Amino acid sequence: MPLEHENQDNRIATTAPNWKLRDVAIGLTVIAAWRGIVFLPRAWVAAIPAWVGLVSALVLFEVFLLAYPLLLARRRGQKEAFGWPRVKRLLPEAGISILVVIALVILLASVGYAIRLVSPGTSLTPEVWKCAATTQHVWRLVFVLVAAFTLAPVCEEVFFRGFLHNALRTRMPIWVAGGIQSLLFAVMHTYGALHTVLIFFLGTVLTAVYEWRKTLLAPILVHSGQNLVAVMAVVLLMLANANAPMLGIVGQDHENGCQVQQVLPESSASDVGIQPGDVITHFDGEPVRGIQHLGQIVRLRRVGDHVTVRIVRNEVATEVEVVLRKGP
């Protein structure tokens, strides 16, 4: 549902709705409320049924991003602002989008290689992807992955580029508007500081593509293609984990190692009674420097290896012997 503007002086077309500051404030308030979920006590979040979280995050929220600008445009009598693109534009925009996605993949691969040279062990792959690749709920993961390159690009581009960017650029220089909405686009994603920077860069690229092509079809296709590459990476991780040893936890970085957030059922961790809240400080005598480092040193072992894991629970340190299993 691209918003097309084909004016010659690079301003927003007269068909674009006159977005009000109140419209922007309401939209951003909803995003802030959704983003604020990550700051809730983990016990509260853990008590939410998985299907409720899935529906609220990937259905209700994404549908809001799409429906809110469309309903505003309809209410203002400007439904044409979000019209379907001309069929003749589909193939050219698809071809250009493929080239942009290829360039992005090459650039990100090069950045990832450079970061690993400077900081060995640092990866551009978000930890949440690695955790998703170990899930036992395959159909939930399939739903998320399919939505990532079908539903999400349409909803997010309509809101961030079609609505928010256009609302801001009527009130400030275009580069300031693009920077603000790209930053908000990045903050909406919860993958950590490094990935927030990368997503901010992606947001600026999507904005530039939109301004260049004068249609939301182009950034939607680029966004979809980029997410499809990410989905393929998760699938490859799943295949790689199929026969790799796994400790069986979901965790986060802690000043003393890795704090356990969740223990997967029928895993090596559950076998020895590791619990959420435990802090893993050492793995087979090696100090743990965070969740990513823990995953790396676990994968250096073999299925069936006996290792010692030191945990701190309620300020009491304990060592347990763990037999590493295959991924669930």
Tens of pLDDT, residue by residue, the chain (328 residues):
445 544 433 333 334 567 889 999 999 998 888 877 666 665 555 555 555 565 566 678 888 999 999 998 888 777 666 766 777 788 899 999 999 999 999 998 898 888 878 876 666 666 666 666 666 567 777 888 888 899 999 999 999 999 999 999 989 999 999 999 999 999 888 677 788 889 999 999 999 999 999 889 999 999 999 999 988 888 887 777 767 788 888 888 888 889 998 888 888 888 888 988 899 999 988 999 888 788 878 888 888 889 999 999 988 999 999 988 876 5
Distance between CA 123 and CA 62 in Å, rounded? 28
Q: What is the pLDDT of residue 311?
A: 92
- What is residue 116's predicted lDDT score, i.e. its pLDDT? 78
Query: Which CA distances in Å does 194 have to 6, 122, 190, 202, 222?
Result: 36, 10, 11, 13, 21
**Has this prediction a pTM greater than 0.85?**
no
Distances (CA, A) of 69 to 73, 116, 171, 218: 6, 41, 18, 18
d(CA 288, CA 246): 15
How much is the pLDDT for 15?
Answer: 44
With b for 16 or more beta-carbon neighbours within 10 A and e for fewer, the 166-185 pattern comes to bbbbeeeebeebbbebbebb
Residue pair 15/80 in contact (Cβ under 8 Å)? The answer is yes
What pLDDT was estimated at residue 135? 61
- Which domains, from first to last, does the chain contain? 21-240 (no CATH), 245-326 (2.30.42.10)
Q: How far apart are CA 152 and CA 147, in angstroms?
A: 6
Q: Pairing mode, if any, of strands 316-323 and 286-287?
A: unpaired
pLDDT at 158: 93
Dihedral, CA of residue 239, residue 245, residue 251 and residue 254, to nearest 10: -130
Q: Is 89 left (phi over 0), alpha (psi -120 to 50) or beta?
A: alpha
